Chains A and B, each alone.
Chain A
Amino acid sequence: GAGVSQSPSNKVTEKGKDVELRCDPISGHTALYWYRQSLGQGLEFLIYFQGNSAPDKSGLPSDRFSAERTGGSVSTLTIQRTQQEDSAVYLCASSFFETQYFGPGTRLLVL
């Protein structure tokens, strides 16, 4: 498919476990974004990658959160020692110019 894909679509984990969320951006898109949307809350910026530049990590809520983007394509968001407040939908988006194309999200539930 030509869109942004994310996996898994749903993830249930126990408090304290680590999780990895994956994003496959649209081929050729140089920019990649991670956001999260907590239940009943608005969207929140997490991290932004642009080409080979250093990522903008200013939105990461704690040092338990990290992300990498390998080869300028696929990105992985890692949450270590998950907490219940990490439960949210994690959204990835990619862009080449202005328009951001969003993936379907990963719904994370921490029990």
Chain B
Amino acid sequence: KNEVEQSPQNLTAQEGEFITINCSYSVGISALHWLQQHPGGGIVSLFMLSSGKKKHGRLIATINIQEKHSSLHITASHPRDSAVYICAAHYGGSQGNLIFGKGTKLSVKP
């Protein structure tokens, strides 16, 4: 069964802390997404990656194909980073069929 597991489920941090959210998947994938869901429900796509590392501002996403693992890092965290972070994996040939993790709820305190 194709699965995507995220950890931790909930994370509370102080402003300025370095944050890591982990995602592991069960079998080979073609690509992995990181999404951010704001408290109001809106979803923003942060990264799509199939190898290596991508960086955008204070966000960094890495993927290790051999270990079937990806991480999302947030440097110098800020209260506005508070959101649910979701990883999702493309299994199989279709670029549509995404399997989603259950999300990590991040709360950054000032």
Contacts and interface: CB of A to CB of B under 8 A. Distances in A.
B is bound to A? yes
B102 interface: yes
Interface of A is mostly: strand
A104 B41 CA distance: 7
A99 B97 contact: no
A93 B97 CA distance: 13
B76 interface: no
Interface stretch (A18-26, A40-48, A76-84): A40-48
Contact of B96 (A48, A102, A105): A48
B88 interface: yes
Interface of B is mostly: strand
Interface string B67-92: 00000000000000000001010000
Given A42-B103, A104-B41, 15 more contacts: A35-B98, A43-B86, A45-B96, A45-B100, A48-B95, A48-B97, A50-B96, A56-B97, A89-B41, A98-B48, A99-B48, A100-B33, A102-B44, A104-B42, A105-B41
27 contacts: A31-B95, A31-B96, A35-B98, A42-B86, A42-B101, A43-B88, A43-B98, A43-B100, A44-B100, A47-B96, A48-B94, A48-B96, A48-B97, A49-B96, A50-B95, A50-B96, A56-B94, A59-B96, A89-B41, A98-B48, A99-B45, A99-B48, A100-B33, A100-B45, A102-B44, A104-B42, A105-B41
